[in-house]
C-alpha cells in the first residue's frame, strides 16, 4: 500500500487545528506540507550519505525541495543516521516517526537559513540579557525531543531553568525555512504544541524568500478557548504574524493590525515578569524587525562576478 494511503488519519500521527471558527482540520504529519517532496527508499548508511549529499546540493542550487523523506527506517537505523548527521551534516533537522518507520529531513544548509534562525535567536537572547535573565532560560540548539511515537529537532529551542530534567520540553521553539516550505513549517509547529501536550508554549515560524528579500513570521500557540464544535480541543493556531519587506513591516494578530510582534514572557519563563526589574514581554518593534531582516540580507549577498574573476576575498 502506498505510504500516503497507509497513514491517513492514524493517531498519534495526526493533530487538529482550526481557523476562523471552521470545523477542526485533521493534520497528518507524514503527508501534509510534503507535496512534491522526494520519498526515497533507505538502503543503508552508505547509500543514505550519497543520497542526502545529492539532495543538499540540489537544494542549494534550487533543484530540490527543502524536505526529503526516507523509509523504511527502524529505530536502530535512525540512531545510525543521527550519528551520520552529527558527524557530517549538522545542518540537517530530523523528524523520525517510529511506528511508520519514516524519516523526514529538513535541509538547513544555506547561508540565509542559518542567518534567519541564528540572528532571530540572537535578537531574542539580547532582550533576555537586557532583563538580566540569561541564566533563567537556556538555549537547547537542535536537541532531539521525543513525543508519542516520534522524535524531532528544531532549528532553535529554549528551556527555562525550572525544567531541569533531560526529557523536559522547551517552552520556545523556532522553525525556519524557505517560503516554499511554509506549509510544512506550519505542520512542524503543530507537532511541537501537540506532542508536548502543551509544554511547548510558543513556536515561531521564520519563512524567508531570498529572491524577494522578504521574511514572514508566525507565532503558533494553543488556542485559549476550545473549538465551538468540540470543547475538548484547544488546537494549535496562529496568534500573530509579521511580514518584512525592505523598510515595510506589517504585523497582525488574527487579522487585527499591531505595532509590535510579541512573545509572551510568562509562557516562556513560566513565571510572571517583575516589572520593577525591567522584565516584560519580549517585544519586537517594527524597527527591530527591519534591523533583523537587514542583518540577514546584508550578510548573504552574492559576490559580483568581476570581484570573483579578480580573486577578491580569496
Q: Tell me the per-residue pLDDT of 260-274, one tens digit each, with 9 for 90 and over.
A: 999 999 999 999 999
Angle of CA points 137, 142, 148, to nearest 5°: 95
pLDDT mean over 128-141: 96
**Does 301 have pLDDT greater than 90?**
yes
Residue 303 DSSP symbol:
P
Alpha-carbon distance of 237 to 254, in angstroms, equals 10
Q: Where are the alpha helices (DSSP H) in the chain?
A: 3-6, 45-60, 75-88, 111-130, 182-195, 265-269, 286-298, 305-309
State residue 79's pLDDT score. Answer: 97
pLDDT of 307 reads: 61
- According to the model, what pLDDT value does residue 12 have? 39
CA distance 89 to 83: 9
Query: Is 160 in contact with 268 (CB distance < 8 Å)?
Result: yes
To the nearest 10 degrees (0 to 180), the angle between helices 45-60 and 75-88 is 50
Domain extent listing, the chain: 10-18+29-107, 111-298
Q: What is the pLDDT of residues 53-95, one digit of tens each?
A: 999 999 999 999 999 999 999 999 999 999 999 999 999 999 9
Identify the band that residue 193 occupies on the pLDDT scale cut at 50, 70 and 90.
Answer: very high
| pLDDT for the residue numbered 16 | 47
| Confidence check: pLDDT of 131 > 70 | yes
Q: What is the mean pLDDT of the chain?
A: 90
- Average pLDDT of the residues in 290-309: 88
Interval 87-123: pLDDT, tens = 999 999 999 999 999 999 999 999 999 999 999 999 9
Higher pLDDT, 161 or 306: 161
CATH number of 10-18+29-107: 3.30.1370
Residue by residue, DSSP assigns 71-112 as E---HHHHHHHHHHHHHH-TTEEEEEEGGGTEEEEEE--SHH
Question: Measuring CA to CA, which residue among 134, 116, 113, 112 is closest to residue 125?
Answer: 134
Quick check: do 10-18+29-107 and 111-298 share a fold? no
pLDDT for the residue numbered 10: 29
pLDDT over 90 for what percent of the chain?
82
CA 90 to CA 83: how far, in whole Å? 10
Q: Is the pLDDT of residue 291 over 90?
A: yes
What topology does CATH give the domain 111-298?
tt1808, chain A (3.90.1570)
Q: Model pTM?
A: 0.89
Cβ neighbours of residue 138 closer than 8 Å, sequence gap 6 or more: 158, 159, 160, 161
- Give the sheet arrangement for strand 92-97, strand by strand: 38-41, 67-71, 102-107, 92-97, 150-153, 144-147
Contacts of 52 (CB under 8 A, 6+ apart): 68, 89, 92, 105
pLDDT of residue 8: 26
Residue 26 has pLDDT above 90, yes or no: no
pLDDT per position as a tens digit, 149-179: 999 999 999 999 999 999 999 999 999 999 9
Q: What band does 24 get if pLDDT is binned at 50, 70 and 90? A: very low
SS3 of residue 199 by DSSP: coil
Residue 262: strand, helix, or coil: strand
pLDDT of 11 higher than 80:
no
Amino acid at each position: 500500500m502506498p505510504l500516503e494511503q497507509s497513514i491517513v488519519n492514524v493517531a498519534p500521527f495526526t493533530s487538529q487545528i482550526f481557523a476562523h471558527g471552521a470545523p477542526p482540520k485533521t493534520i497528518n504529519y507524514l503527508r501534509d506540507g510534503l507535496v512534491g517532496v522526494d520519498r526515497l527508499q533507505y538502503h543503508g548508511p552508505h547509500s543514505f550519505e550519497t543520497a542526502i549529499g545529492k539532495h543538499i546540493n540540489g537544494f542549494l542550487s534550487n533543484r530540490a525541495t527543502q524536505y526529503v523523506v526516507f523509509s523504511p527506517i527502524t529505530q536502530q537505523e535512525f540512531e545510525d543516521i543521527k550519528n551520520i548527521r552529527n558527524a557530517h551534516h549538522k545542518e540537517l533537522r530530523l523528524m523520525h516517526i517510529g511506528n511508520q518507520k519514516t524519516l523526514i529531513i529538513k535541509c538547513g544548509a544555506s547561508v540565509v537559513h542559518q542567518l534567519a534562525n541564528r540572528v532571530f535567536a540572537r535578537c531574542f537572547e539580547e532582550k533576555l540579557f537586557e532583563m538580566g535573565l540569561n541564566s533563567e532560560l537556556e538555549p537547547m540548539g537542535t536537541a532531539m525531543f521525543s513525543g508519542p511515537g516520534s522524535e524531532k529537532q528544531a532549528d532553535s529551542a529554549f528551556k527555562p531553568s525550572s525544567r531541569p530534567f533531560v526529557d523536559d520540553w522547551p517552552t520556545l521553539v523556532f522553525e525556519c525555512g524557505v517560503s516554499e516550505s511554509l506549509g510544512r513549517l506550519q505542520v512542524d509547529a503543530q507537532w511541537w504544541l501537540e506532542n508536548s501536550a502543551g509544554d511547548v508554549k510558543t513556536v515561531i515560524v521564520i519563512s524567508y524568500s531570498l529572491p524577494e528579500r522578504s521574511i514572514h513570521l508566525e507565532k503558533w500557540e494553543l488556542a485559549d478557548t476550545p473549538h465551538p464544535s468540540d470543547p475538548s480541543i484547544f488546537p494549535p493556531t496562529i496568534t500573530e504574524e509579521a511580514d518584512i519587506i525592505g523598510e515595510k513591516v506589517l504585523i497582525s494578530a488574527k487579522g487585527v493590525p499591531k505595532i509590535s510582534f510579541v512573545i509572551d514572557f510568562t509562557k516562556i519563563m513560566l513565571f510572571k515578569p517583575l516589572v520593577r526589574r525591567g522584565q516584560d514581554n519580549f517585544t519586537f518593534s517594527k524597527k527591530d524587525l527591519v534591523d533583523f531582516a537587514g542583518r540577514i540580507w546584508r550578510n548573504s549577498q552574492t559576490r559580483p562576478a568581476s570581484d570573483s574573476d579578480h580573486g577578491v576575498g580569496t
